[in-house]
């Protein structure tokens, strides 16, 4: 059986190959998104990276607290810090 393109499949194959060469159409979920959504500004990239770095730093700080003081003390300290921070950020709280 030969794999020669017939008259019916040749235009479809050419169209597919043009899509495959266009790197912005590589991801199916982005294929129908506007081009402006596919272009990221340097600010968006930097703020996303900063969020990831902040998460990793928070994780490392929590791990160092656990290693330095033990799990029970770390859990108690984290709960107390969360309760204290929660109070200071709420306005008009009656607690």
**pLDDT tens digit sequence for 29-50:** 666 777 777 788 899 999 999 9
> CA distances (Å), 31 to each of 17, 41, 45, 86, in order?
15, 19, 21, 43
pLDDT of residue 81 exceeding 80: yes
Q: Where along the chain do its domains lie?
A: 1-39, 40-90
CA distance 37 to 25: 12
Query: pTM (2 decimals)?
Result: 0.45
Furthest C-alpha separation in the chain: 81
CA distance 89 to 22: 49
- Total residues belonging to the chain: 95
For residue 40, the Cα-to-chain-centroid distance in whole angstroms is: 13
pLDDT of residue 65 exceeding 80: yes
Question: What was the pLDDT predicted at 60?
Answer: 95
Kindly provide the residue ranges of all beta strands, DSSP E only, lying in 1-95, ordered along the sequence. Answer: none
Question: What was the pLDDT predicted at 48?
Answer: 93
């Amino acid at each position: 059986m030969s794999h020669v393109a017939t008259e019916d499949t040749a235009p479809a194959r050419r169209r597919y190959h043009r899509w495959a060469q266009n790197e912005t159409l590589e991801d199916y979920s982005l294929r129908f998104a506007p081009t402006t959504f596919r272009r990221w500004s340097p600010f968006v990239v930097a703020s996303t990276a900063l969020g990831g770095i902040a998460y990793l730093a928070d994780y490392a700080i929590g791990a160092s607290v656990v290693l330095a003081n033990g799990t029970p003390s770390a859990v108690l300290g984290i709960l107390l810090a969360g309760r204290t921070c929660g109070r200071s950020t709420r306005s008009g709280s009656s607690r």
